């Protein structure tokens, strides 16, 4: 007979969260799974926690009947030492039937955060180019809130990367996604951007690009997102493109954008973006200058004055906070900022704080 304390939701939740958030234990969340398997009552009350955050879709596919799939372990080449923890390859033995997806459906509807690392999948021989992810459209889409995708860390994507990302987006992105994260992704194709632009509730976007530069179409698609409130851009290339042309926008774009964070190498990278956001109702702008080596002093840069001028030219009536940070400490003592640089931003009548 089950002890009565395990039937009290508050007690089970407290124990489950204590086990799940034990950051000192590298086996997390395996301990949570083990806890769930100790009791039917605990399993019913911890299933949501176990499935809420996933970094891989293979555990979801393992919910299919065992006769439909197999994990194959490659043979170790002669003369090589076997890996301490051999990595298997998930493969389908046959195509699952409709009713066999029922258990996948039940567990997938509990996923709120999906962190898909394509680099890890490729290095560990996981099936990122196979059939599995093409069958998840009806199962993952409804409840998913946060989607993080890590693709190639190289400037040029590997063969098939674009198709994999597009397939994954079509399969798992639903109307309830509010946060979308591209980490060091190649410049997305127009088809990927079109999928992103139809997410009605998208509020937060974080995009890190390799040194290939921004494209005009990128800002154009992001500008049409109706609920976008926060935009975080990482870039180490030329924002205006290869020819340095400006990115244009018009009134009605970025209608609810409130927070902007830029991680740039130089201020010249952020100037076109600030001009492109001329009509956005920005309340907070943060600029992180990540140039290396650290013999670059942002306070003495003419780019700082040009950046302030670009902010002042905008109709940023709602801007309250403007913060500029240099990630690496410069060699020597920083220069004294010429107060005349601040004249353009001082005309923004709601501005409350400028931090350098």
Rounded Cα gap, residues 95 and 130, in angstroms: 12
What is the signed CA dihedral for 24, 29, 35, 36, rounded to 10 degrees?
Answer: 160
Q: Cα(157)–Cα(292) distance, rounded to whole angstroms?
A: 25
Task: Say whether pLDDT at 352 is over 80.
Answer: yes
Confidence of residue 171 (pLDDT cuts 50, 70, 90): low
Beta-bridge partner residues of 112? none
- The CA distance from 112 to 114, in Å, is 7
Mean pLDDT, all residues of the chain: 70
Question: Mean per-residue pLDDT for 54-68?
Answer: 82
Each residue of 294-321: b (16+ CB within 10 Å) or e?
eebbbeebebbbbbbebbbebebeebee
For residues 312 and 14, which has the higher predicted lDDT (pLDDT)? 14
Q: Are 177 and 202 in contact (CB under 8 A)?
A: yes
Please determine, for residue 14, whether its predicted confidence score (pLDDT) is greater than 50. yes
Over residues 274-329, the pLDDT tens digits come to 777 877 888 898 888 776 555 455 555 667 777 787 777 666 778 888 888 876 66
pLDDT recorded at residue 139:
47
Q: Is the pLDDT reported for residue 209 higher than 70?
A: no
Q: Which two tokens stand for residue 171?
A: 């399969």
The answer to pTM > 0.85 is no
Cα 148 to Cα 205: distance, rounded to the nearest angstrom = 10
- Cβ atoms of 52 and 113 within 8 Å: the answer is yes
Whole-angstrom distance, CA of residue 16 vs CA of residue 7: 13
Q: What is the pLDDT of residue 37?
A: 76
Q: Distance (Å, rounded) from C-alpha 141 to C-alpha 108?
A: 9
Q: State residue 244's pLDDT score.
A: 41
Determine the average pLDDT of the residues in 67-84.
77
Residues 202 and 107: their CA atoms lie apart, in Å, by 24
Structure token digits, residue 139: 């199962």
What whole-number distance in Å separates Cα of residue 214 and Cα of residue 241? 6
DSSP H or E stretch at residue 197? helix 190-197
φ, ψ of residue 311 in degrees (nearest 5)? -65, -40
75: CB partners within 8 A, 6+ apart: none
pLDDT at 213 over 60: no
pLDDT at 55 over 60: yes
């Amino acid at each position: 007979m089950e002890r009565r304390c395990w039937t009290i939701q508050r007690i089970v939740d407290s124990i489950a969260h204590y086990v799940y958030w034990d950051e000192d234990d590298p086996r997390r969340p395996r301990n949570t799974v083990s806890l769930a398997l100790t009791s039917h009552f605990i399993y019913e009350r911890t299933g949501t926690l176990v499935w809420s955050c996933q970094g891989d879709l293979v555990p979801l596919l393992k919910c299919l009947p065992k006769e439909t799939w197999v994990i194959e372990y490659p043979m170790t080449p002669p003369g090589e030492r076997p890996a301490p923890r051999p990595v298997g390859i998930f493969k389908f033995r046959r195509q699952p039937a409709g009713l066999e997806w029922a258990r996948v459906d039940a567990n997938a509807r509990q996923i709120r955060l999906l962190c898909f690392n394509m680099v890890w999948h490729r290095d560990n021989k996981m099936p990122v180019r196979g059939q599995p992810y093409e069958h998840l459209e009806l199962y993952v889409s409804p409840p998913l809130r946060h989607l993080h995708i890590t693709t190639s860390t190289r400037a040029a994507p590997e063969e098939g990367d674009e198709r994999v990302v597009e397939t994954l987006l079509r399969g798992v992105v639903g109307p309830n996604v509010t946060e979308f994260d591209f980490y060091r992704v190649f410049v997305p194709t127009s088809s990927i951007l079109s999928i992103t632009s139809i997410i009605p509730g998208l509020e937060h976007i974080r995009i890190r690009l390799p040194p290939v530069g921004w494209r005009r179409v990128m800002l154009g698609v992001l500008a049409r997102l109706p609920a976008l409130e926060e935009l975080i851009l990482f870039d180490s290339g030329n924002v205006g493109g290869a020819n340095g042309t400006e990115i244009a926008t018009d009134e009605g774009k970025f209608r609810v954008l409130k927070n902007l964070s830029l991680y740039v190498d130089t201020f010249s990278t952020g100037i076109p973006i600030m001009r492109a956001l001329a009509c956005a109702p920005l309340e907070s702008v943060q600029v992180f200058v990540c140039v290396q080596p650290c013999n670059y002093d942002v306070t003495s840069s003419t780019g700082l004055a040009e950046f302030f001028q670009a902010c002042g030219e905008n109709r940023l009536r709602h801007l309250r906070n403007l913060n500029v940070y240099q990630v690496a400490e410069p060699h020597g003592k920083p220069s004294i900022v010429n107060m005349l640089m601040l004249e353009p931003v001082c005309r923004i009548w709601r501005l409350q704080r400028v931090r350098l």
